[in-house]
Structure 1
Amino acid sequence: MREAAFVKQNKDKWLTFENVLSNKTSITPEALSSLYIEITDHLSYAKTFYPNSNTEVYLNGLASSAHQKIYKTKKESKNRIITFFTQEFPLMFTQHHRELLVAFLVFALFVAIGAFSAANEGDFVRGFLGDGYVNMTLDNIEKGDPMGVYKEQGEFNMFLGITLNNIKVALMAFGYGILLGIGSLFIMMQNGIMLGSFQYFFYQEGLLWESARTIWIHGTIEISVIIIAGCAGLVLGNSMLFPGTYTRLESFKRGAVNGLKILMSTIPFFILAGFLEGFVTRHTEMPDWLAIFIISSSLALILFYYVYYPIKLNKQKQQEKLANNQTNKNQQ
């Protein structure tokens, strides 16, 4: 890229950064830190392709001023956790809705494959879910309690065991993203096939609605956040495959941090899913309307927090930024 084109492409961002450093524009220390990383990336690029140029000198001065300001002013908020869940994470996650969509579509595809395989191969369900589970479920069906598996353990023990297991699966879905995202897609495939064959098994037994109204009480959140953890793994993998204007190492660092933030956001939801499975799902005698209400509320919560709210918050921040820029222009 020619130096003039590089300057033209980024000058507005640099001017915004100058205004922040001169206190003409106010942003959070965390946002300032993010801008600083981007400026230092531009500086590295200028040093490589435009050595000893005016652009390099300018960016070096800008980066030096930013470094001093960041480490003088950056303080951890007393409400850091609240800020993370209400501001920092949702704003960041708008960048990764594409990875979320990919993880969801892959998962949905393999749910369909799992159901199709179970319908066309007699031993597929046993091979995938295991003879022990299938035989136990058939025994429960004969006893008139097909969902009895959710009543075998005490509430708290089931809650704790399920929550820890779900977090383990989420860690795998994220960690396997190091394999260029392929590992995360494998986890989506594995869990998708399991779900598809599992639901088809109950369909064969004439218990599709009975199983769905029970399982999805906790499964709505549980499955959703496993997909979101897969999204985190894809973010990690994409950071290595598509570094953009960053060095591959810097892109990987950013991908790892963003992936971890996505993973951290799922922890409260896994706890909620574990609570529902341990304490609520076992009550198979509950009326249909209550089960439907819990399932619908769970789905609405996931869609609100991971889709609607990040988009709305991002638009709000963009409007505030435009308003501040307009105010600054008027003052100048």
Structure 2
Amino acid sequence: MREVSFIKQNKEKWLSFEKAIFNNDFESPDELATQYIHVVNDLAYAQTYYPKSKVVVYLNQLAAKAFQKIYKTKREDTNRIISFWKTEIPLICYEYRKFIYIAFMVFFAFTFIGVISAANDGAFVRSILGDHYVNMSLENIEAGDPVAVYKSGSNWGSFIGITINNLKVGIIAFVMGVFLGIGTLYIMFKNCIMLGSFQYFFYEKNVFWESVRGIWIHGSMEIFAIVIEAAAGLILGASILFPGTHSRYTSFKKGAKIGVKILISTFPFTFAAGFLEGFITRYSNVMPHALSVFIILSTLSLISYYYLIYPFKIQKQITSTPTTSTLTV
């Protein structure tokens, strides 16, 4: 077969395979392996009959890229847990970033409503937090320790109880998304109103800074994680409302799968927040102010980087992968 005929006969297949490699567009690893075998066979044929041709160089580069992709896929399967947090979750967060942004806007809006309501209605805080909690907090303020509530109980008992509660809140915020996202918004509304009125209460009693030191040492990751979990719930709701070209059931399954992955990704941060609340927050009133600020800023920076900045870096790395196409006829 003449070289020109050989290229024309296989050009479309090669270019399609090359595009699929760079876009990671394969239905299964088996399909990738099968296509790789075809390319290797074509390379062997070209090396035999057209040893000095550019098509040999092109097919050699294409085969090398395919091999790297197969090796990478195998390696990622072996290190599934690492790749889940290192690559998969950041890419999901990038693709669904608008839901994260919406969740944060809703969070700030609802929290602001809680602050304004507490500022304009003296009885609002009691109606939200309950008389017992407010009276206890007033007693703690008079005793000189506004956040003494975080020091009750044992370290391990507080850690386990708080972590379980926070996990429950996050899971409920996600699952309630099945009600077209309205359920998730309701959970956010309840918790944000409570947070806003709670913080205003301490501001009104002139112990705002003391409350910040006591609450946000663990609250930075705890609250941030709940917002991300709410974003997962909104994704679930949107998958039902806006199925696009898919059937509503297929769209729902996809939304549920994506949402569960995002939900699971927040668990390490929730555990970390529980640890801080159980073992560190109880010493907030005796530790140096600089240390309190460092813990708050470092934990907030860590979780913010992972969900808001790192996804862009991973996406950029993937989209900037150079192509090697040199095929001409």
TM bucket (normalised to shorter chain) is 0.7 to 0.9
Q: Is the 8 A contact 2:173 2:233 kept in 1?
A: yes
Q: Unaligned 5+ residue runs, structure 2?
A: 1-11, 31-69
Q: Does 1:305 align with 2:301?
A: no
Structure 2: how far apart are the matches of 1:138 and 1:329?
75
Q: TM-score, normalised by structure 1?
A: 0.77
Corresponding residue number in structure 2 for 1:242 = 242
| Superposition map of 1:309-320 within 5 A | 309-320=310-321
1:121-146 CA-partner distances (Å, limit 9, x unpaired): 11111110111111111111122211
Q: Give how far 1:172 is off.
A: 0.7
Q: Give how far 1:88 is off.
A: 1.1
Residue identity matched to 1:328: S
Q: Where does structure 1 differ by over 6 angstroms across 4 or more consecutive aligned residues?
A: 14-17, 73-76
Residue identity matched to 2:26: L
Q: Is the 8 A contact 1:107 1:191 kept in 2?
A: no
Distance 1:92 1:330, change over 3 A: farther
Distance 1:106 1:26, change over 3 A: closer
Which stretch of the first structure deviates more once superposed, 160-169 or 73-82? 73-82
| 3-state SS, counterpart of residue 153 of structure 2 | coil
Q: Give how far 1:201 is off.
A: 0.5
| Superposition map of 1:1-332 within 5 A | 18-19=16-17, 25=21, 32-33=26-27, 77-283=77-283, 284-320=285-321, 323-324=322-323, 327-330=324-327
Task: Give the aligned CA root-mean-square deviation in angstroms.
Answer: 2.6
1:147-178 CA-partner distances (Å, limit 9, x unpaired): 11111111111001111100000001100000
Residue identity matched to 1:191: N
Distance 1:34 1:256, change over 3 A: farther
Distance 1:91 1:147, change over 3 A: same
How many aligned residue pairs are there? 276
Structure 2: how far apart are the matches of 1:305 and 1:75?
23
Corresponding residue number in structure 2 for 1:60 = none
Q: Is the 8 A contact 1:225 1:270 kept in 2?
A: yes
Q: Give how far 1:254 is off.
A: 0.9
Q: Is the 8 A contact 1:232 1:259 kept in 2?
A: yes
Which stretch of the first structure deviates more once superposed, 76-85 or 227-236? 76-85
Structure 1: how far apart are the matches of 2:313 and 2:307?
11
Percent same amino acid among aligned pairs? 51
Q: Unaligned 5+ residue runs, structure 1?
A: 1-13, 37-69
Q: Is the 8 A contact 2:76 2:83 kept in 1?
A: no
Distance 1:128 1:218, change over 3 A: same
Q: TM-score, normalised by structure 2?
A: 0.78
Structure 1: how far apart are the matches of 2:194 and 2:15?
50
Structure 1: how far apart are the matches of 2:76 and 2:307?
25
1:226-266 CA-partner distances (Å, limit 9, x unpaired): 00000000010111111222222211111111000100100
Q: Give how far 1:76 is off.
A: 7.4
Structure 2: how far apart are the matches of 1:207 and 1:186?
30
Distance 1:91 1:76, change over 3 A: closer
Distance 1:111 1:305, change over 3 A: same
Structure 2: how far apart are the matches of 1:33 and 1:227?
33
Structure 2: how far apart are the matches of 1:240 and 1:176?
13
1:274-301 CA-partner distances (Å, limit 9, x unpaired): 0010000000211111111111111111
Q: Is the 8 A contact 1:111 1:196 kept in 2?
A: yes
Distance 1:207 1:25, change over 3 A: same
Q: Is the 8 A contact 1:155 1:279 kept in 2?
A: yes
Distance 1:139 1:33, change over 3 A: farther
Structure 1: how far apart are the matches of 2:260 and 2:232?
7
